[in-house]
Amino acid sequence: MNDVVNCTTRSRMMRGIRGRDTKPELFLRRYLHSLGYRFRLHRQDLPGSPDLVLPRYRLALFVHGCFWHRHAGCFYTTIPKTRQAFWEEKFHGNVRRDNRAYIDLHHLGWRVLVVWECGFKHCREQLSDISELIQAVNLYQEWPSHPPRPRPA
């Protein structure tokens, strides 16, 4: 199956995908700030350059898109129909890089909280769970803990 746009347009579209200051990240920042949490952004000195860092809690937060970071069991975790081998290798590399960053953070004494994009779309009523996860002592946590089910159209 051919792409529906030409190579130049596809390249421009892919360049437009941002890695920081995304809508879910900005939403989480506003929410945490309203609860009184103070954080640092994109600390380059930590493995994986976490999106938010709460030094007081030794917690690194990553706001991940389900598509790019392969949220297990999520309906947003799809594979494009064209160039499937390329995409599978790309996604596998992303997951490998993420896991390496989590392990390195653990070795440095940091806890990790991964916040998935689908949670902002489908689980906003459970947003208070994030505050509980910040206070918890687990080394690795995810929110939402289980991918949401798609809502009927």
* Helix/strand/coil for 4: coil
Give the CA radius of gyration of the chain.
Answer: 17
pLDDT of 149 strictly over 90 = no
Q: Answer whether 98's CB lies under 8 Å from 128's CB.
A: no
**Structural domains in the chain plus CATH codes:** 20-143 (3.40.960.10)
Look-up of token digits 């916040």: 115
- With beta carbons less than 8 A apart as the criterion, state whether 112 and 57 touch: no
Residue showing tokens 């790309």: 90
pLDDT at 124: 84
pLDDT value at position 143? 95
Are 144 and 113 contacting, i.e. CB atoms less than 8 angstroms apart?
A: no
Contact 17, 79 (CB under 8 A): no
User: What pLDDT was estimated at residue 19?
Assistant: 73
pLDDT score recorded for residue 28: 96
CA distance 23 to 14: 17
Task: Report, as an integer, the average pLDDT of 118-126.
Answer: 89
Helix intervals (H) in 3-151 = 7-15, 23-34, 66-69, 84-107, 117-122, 128-135
Q: pLDDT (tens digit, 9 = 90+) per residue, 12-58?
A: 877 777 778 899 999 999 999 999 999 999 999 999 999 999 999 99
The predicted model scores a pTM of 0.87
- The answer to whether residue 105 scores a pLDDT higher than 90 is yes
Residues 45-70 pLDDT 10s: 999 999 999 999 999 999 999 999 99
The pLDDT of residue 153: 53
